[in-house]
Amino acid sequence: LSIVEAVIADHNHAWETGNEYHYLIKSRTLTGLDGLAEQYSGIFMRGKFTIQVKLSDTLQAVVSEMQYASVNEILSDISDEITNHEFRKLSISGKSFEIKLKRGIIRDMLIDQNVPTWEVNLLKSIVSQLQIDTEGENAIASRSTMVPNDNQSFSEFKVMEDSVGGKCEVLYSISSVKGDNLSISLPHLHKDAQQFIITKTKNYSRCEQRVAYHSGIISKMNWKPGSNDGFLSRSSSNNIIISGNLKRFTIQSSMMTNQMLINSNKFNNTYSGAVYSGMNLTLDRMNRISNPMPVSNNLMSTGNLVYTYNNPFSSQRKPRRPNVSQSSLAQSSENSNSNNSSEENYNEDDNFKSADQDYFQPKPKLNEAPESPLLPYFIGYKGMSILNSEENYTRIAIRLIGRTLIHDDYPTEHFSPEQMNDRYINALERFTILVRLIRTMNVEQIAEIDNEVPKMYNTINSFTESDFNLTHQNVWSAFSCAVANAGTGPALITIKNWIKSGKLEGIQAAQIISKIPKSALAPTTEYVAAFFQLITDEKVTKQRFLNTTASLSFAELARYTQSNKLSIYYPVYSFGRMVPKHDIELLETYIPYMTTQLRKAIEEGDSHRIQTYIMALGNFGHPKILSVFEPYLEGTIPISKFQRLMMVISLSKLTESYPRVVRSVALRIYLNLKEAYELRCVAVHIIMKTNPSLIILQRIAEFTNQDQDRHVNSVVKTSIKSLINLEQSEWKDLAEKARIASKLLNPNISEDNYSQSIFMQTKIASLNIAQTNSFQIIGSDDTNTPKGAFIDILQSYGGLNLPLTKMAYAVSSIEELKQKWLDILLGKRLWMSQNQTRKEWMIETIVKKLGIEPENAEQLEGNFFVDSVFSLGFYPFDNHTLEEFTNNMCVLDKTQVVTFDDKVYPLTLGKCWHVMMAPYPKRDSNNPEKILVYPYDIRAIVMAREMDDGTKQVWIILGYEEIHLRKLDDRLQVSIVGGEEYDSHFSSHKSYGQTDLYAIYQKNGIIVMHSLQYNIHIVYDGERILLLVHDKYLYTVRGLCGNYDMQSNNDFVTPKNCILTKPEEFAATYALTYREDCEGPALQNKLKAEQSTCISRSYIPGDVISEREKRRCNYH
């Protein structure tokens, strides 16, 4: 009996001690567009695989004679045999390695530590074909399990099994056949012997160890990239033929097929991208060991058969602990799936049961590039980062910037549309390459590029001053944008340094910082903390625009990394959780900080900050914010109605992760008939986005028969009616519920001029695009213009959902906003006839006699909001914000002027052109004799003169374009042909000239001219002129409007840089007295100005050291 047991032990399942097995390897990987063409490209490999059985639990193996050939062929079938290809030798180490077994199952591979990672993974892919569990050693308990037995002709069970593609659930199907029934010919198979066909089908949707790299995936939260379903899917199966019985057998053949698909079959006439791979191992011969393989004394465990991630910056592999744990999924695999929300149906992914799995890539340090696996620039040089090559990639990055923005910067007016399109595509390709290069770099390498970039265009002598300035701005914008899109720790440190040094500020800094959460590759705890430190720095909190965007962007990053129970936005299957599951910073630091800032802003009445921190708290998308908003929403702490409205709007992020929680809150707001209709309308929209149950929808629909608010009822009706028409699979359930609930709606609901909530769907089959839009409009109670509009755009390309695009505006009162603008633009003077004023006085008298009291007025508040895949922008405003526009405004009234710096002085123009604003020349600091060229975007002059009838005429020069405005016989007229041909037949929105240069409109007796290129806006009513300019005109202009340097005491500076004291003399110095048509007081006043005392603008030193102090210096 002991002899029999020894013999059985020596033949451990597939491997008999002392035997040597020789297998032939054939492998192929092909890519193509499935359904479009039969053209495939890829690689073939072939070689030999030899195994020597040293002990019952140890195999010694070597792969030899590996060859490869490139393939680019038309194949009617992906499995077609391809001949006549030139095979080349594949350079591998050829070192032997060990395979460790336990009860016949492969548990570990020990490979010489000098073997590169790419070769280790090649060996794992070959050995994976021999992983067989014939006895259900790791079978998962299930009602359908059929445990293998030699007496059964068929068995089926599931195991958790590792192979190069991951440690995933595998379905085994084992059937007994006779050799002559096999469809393939095997050289060493006895037809009369018992054979078994083993079919293995891998379920990539259930894995303990998933091999994948992804970033920016925003689909449903419980979808796993690289799973069996979804937009990106993969499937794998093995057909293995063994001879013998299930305990002692020989593997005759193992054939694996794997396919990865981009399932873009949203419409029938589209195609899918596909990657097909396959590997065949066929037993060539089997004999006793005659020449034992040498055993390396430098072996290192690789953990298991799963693909090993590379270290891009080192050729040394880190040791892996062998994975010998039993399946952690010893549970029924027949659990039914549910369509409930992620919070209700969330199953913790098995990849993350351990906080620090050995197979994950190490978390990147903040000042180092992440060790991103599988990406071309991280494995492109001998399995490592391309930075390990001899190329100087910082110089390459600099050349990319130069080729993109400098050397292509020549006139394009003679280019065809096709040539222009090619130039744009080339520029985008170079920019993409630049971003990918920066992702591989550390802080010092990025800094080297930063230091070298300015030197490129400093050496180009052909640039004019304006070309130089434009190129400098373009290069800097492109480089800073590339760094922002890199999304690494070194990129974040670089941006932080730019902001702290003042190199990056204002709106541009806001645009750059808004890209951080959207482009971050591996936002670890250290990364998030560094970003938080940045947004709380005074350099950020004190900067307008930047302080707003920074808070919202940080909250977005925190939501992706911490709020979601499992975020798939970042490469969590490569690095593990970006932030530990039980990290407390969100609840103990980040949300409390925003809460404190909100409270302070409310105490100080700062609407800008109040709106900012409301939106930032909402962007966290965490239920904790409900307790923050509670006292304000319930009225315990009084705030404005608009601020309460913003709190409800900000709850929309909760619909993504916690729909049940936010639905309950929104429903209570909707059912409160005493609540403001604006809040109730938004609450209805939020409810619809949470996929409410049929009972809730029916309750809301029926409630329209009791509710008297027309705005709220209109929102309920339009939302339910529009949901019925949605046909996409993810909306079908809600659409059916809406169809049933719609029968309970009040049939007499009017929608005209009231609030609405509409869901729409658009399909473009030719482009494989499906788009779902949701529109919400909050109607006004004092005008037909909505006081709020919110647009959500969800685009799906063949089933891949792009990040949601949001656009919105909201204002407390449209009518108050319009009136505020009029007050600012017209100096709080009503533009109406005297008779009309008297009538209004009579009305006011009657109202006063009746004792009609006004309601309490609330502060004007509002905001604009844009959020896309690229960036985020939030622009809050209030009445004080609008008043700030007067800081860059000049007004020429009937009898006086208000300068940019708020100096007011009397003026009579006369019939002579006076310059209101013109750029003044500056000298080159390196060559004082040289006058610098005016920047192209401030080449603007505005002039005015007064006619005999008291009207004023305006002459505007923008570059080479001239515009003339005048009033003749109570008609406002415009000319764009040198002041000769005037047009007085305006429509309400008629525009003139080039749309990219300027536009002119007339409405309600006012002409408005604006130029986005020159950032100038002019309002003209025939007698008064309002000039509004951008901050770029600071310290660059002269004229009647002053020198715009934030100081009013030096506004009377003349063209000769003297400061005069008399306004009429100062104004005359800017009169075009050389023109023959000049008449009026300017002629005499200019002569007086020339004789007046010139007060120099230069600084005048004072007597600071007295005679007494000088005498003290002589004392010893």
Task: State phi, psi for 1091 to the nearest 5 degrees.
Answer: -95, -10
CATH superfamily of 19-205+215-324: Lipovitellin; beta-sheet shell regions, chain A (2.30.230.10)
Check residue 325 and report its DSSP letter.
P
Whether 581 has a pLDDT exceeding 60, the answer reads: yes
**Alpha-carbon distances, residue 1030 vs 1016, 1024, 1035 (angstroms):** 7, 20, 12
For position 818, what pLDDT does the model report? 84
Whether 580 has a pLDDT exceeding 80, the answer reads: yes
Check residue 146 and report its DSSP letter.
B
Distance CA 368, CA 648 (A): 41
Highest mean pLDDT among 340-349, 695-704, 836-845: 695-704
Cβ-contact 794, 804 below 8 angstroms: yes
Cβ-contact 912, 1083 below 8 angstroms: yes
For position 859, what pLDDT does the model report? 86
Output b/e per residue, 579-614; b: 16+ Cβ within 10 A: beeebebbeeebbebbbebbbebbeeebbbbbbbbb
Q: What are the tokens at 767?
A: 């482009």
Strands 105-112 and 97-102: antiparallel
- Confidence tier at 30 by pLDDT (50, 70, 90): very high
**Alpha-carbon distances, residue 208 vs 161, 166, 308, 970 (angstroms):** 9, 8, 15, 81
Among 146-160, 717-731, 741-755, 1030-1044, where is mean pLDDT lowest? 146-160
For position 987, what pLDDT does the model report? 43
Q: What are the tokens at 98?
A: 């060990």
Of all residues in the chain, what percent carry a pLDDT higher than 90?
Answer: 49
Distance CA 935, CA 502 (A): 22
Q: Render pLDDT for 1092-1109 as a digit per residue (tens, 0 to 9).
A: 888 776 555 656 566 665
Output b/e per residue, 517-556; b: 16+ Cβ within 10 A: bbbbbbbbbebbebbbebbeeebbeebebbbbbbbbbbbb
**Alpha-carbon distances, residue 668 vs 626, 633, 664, 683 (angstroms):** 13, 11, 6, 9
- Rounded to 10 degrees, the C-alpha dihedral 570/571/576/577 comes to 0
For position 521, what pLDDT does the model report? 92
Q: What are the tokens at 292?
A: 């034992």
Output b/e per residue, 1062-1086; b: 16+ Cβ within 10 A: ebbbbbbbbbebeeeebebbbeebb
Cβ-contact 1055, 1069 below 8 angstroms: yes
Among 280-284, 393-397, 648-652, where is mean pLDDT lowest? 393-397
Distance CA 168, CA 328 (A): 11
Whether 407 has a pLDDT exceeding 60, the answer reads: no
Higher pLDDT, 332 or 66: 66
Q: Render pLDDT for 663-677 as a digit per residue (tens, 0 to 9).
A: 999 999 999 999 999
- Confidence tier at 607 by pLDDT (50, 70, 90): very high
Residue 548 CA to its chain's centroid (Å): 17
- Confidence tier at 80 by pLDDT (50, 70, 90): confident
Cβ-contact 272, 34 below 8 angstroms: yes
Check residue 320 and report its DSSP letter.
B
Residue 93 CA to its chain's centroid (Å): 43
Q: What are the tokens at 549?
A: 């965007």
Whether 414 has a pLDDT exceeding 70, the answer reads: no
Distance CA 1033, CA 1018 (A): 15
Q: What are the tokens at 584?
A: 């407390």
Neighbours of 496 (CB within 10 A): 19
Among 131-135, 491-495, 848-852, 1109-1113, where is mean pLDDT lowest? 1109-1113
Distance CA 158, CA 327 (A): 11
- Positive or negative: CA dihedral 77, 79, 80, 84: positive
Among 381-390, 542-551, 609-618, where is mean pLDDT lowest? 381-390
- Confidence tier at 513 by pLDDT (50, 70, 90): very high
Higher pLDDT, 333 or 139: 139
- Mean pLDDT, residues 522-538 taken together: 96
Cβ-contact 1036, 1044 below 8 angstroms: yes
Give the three-state DSSP class for 584: coil
**Alpha-carbon distances, residue 508 vs 480, 495, 499 (angstroms):** 9, 12, 10
Q: Render pLDDT for 919-948 as a digit per residue (tens, 0 to 9).
A: 988 877 667 787 877 777 788 999 999 999
Residue reference for tokens 């930075």: 387
Distance CA 380, CA 382 (A): 6
Q: Render pLDDT for 290-341 as a digit per residue (tens, 0 to 9).
A: 999 998 889 999 989 999 998 888 777 766 655 544 444 344 344 433 334 3
Amino acid 780 reads S
Higher pLDDT, 246 or 322: 246
Among 32-46, 500-514, 758-772, 827-841, where is mean pLDDT lowest? 827-841
For position 977, what pLDDT does the model report? 67
Q: Render pLDDT for 855-914 as a digit per residue (tens, 0 to 9).
A: 777 889 999 999 998 889 999 999 888 776 656 789 998 889 999 988 999 999 999 999
Which H or E run contains 32? strand 19-34
CA-nearest of 265, 206, 25, 40 to 126 is: 25
Distance CA 924, CA 928 (A): 5
Instruction: Kindly list the domain boundaries of the chain, sorted by start residue.
Output: 19-205+215-324, 891-1042
Distance CA 773, CA 792 (A): 6
Which H or E run contains 847? helix 834-850
Cβ-contact 236, 256 below 8 angstroms: yes
Burial class (CB in 10 A: 0-12, 13-18, 19+), 12: buried
Of all residues in the chain, what percent carry a pLDDT higher than 70?
Answer: 81
Higher pLDDT, 335 or 36: 36
Amino acid 997 reads L
Whether 627 has a pLDDT exceeding 90, the answer reads: yes
Amino acid 242 reads I
Output b/e per residue, 58-73; b: 16+ Cβ within 10 A: bbbbbbeebebbebee
Burial class (CB in 10 A: 0-12, 13-18, 19+), 77: exposed
Cβ-contact 1013, 939 below 8 angstroms: no
Q: Kindly report the average pLDDT of the chain as a whole number.
A: 83
Task: State phi, psi for 749 to the nearest 5 degrees.
Answer: -80, 130
CA-nearest of 813, 810, 825 to 860 is: 813
CA-nearest of 1065, 1050, 1062, 1040 to 1096 is: 1050
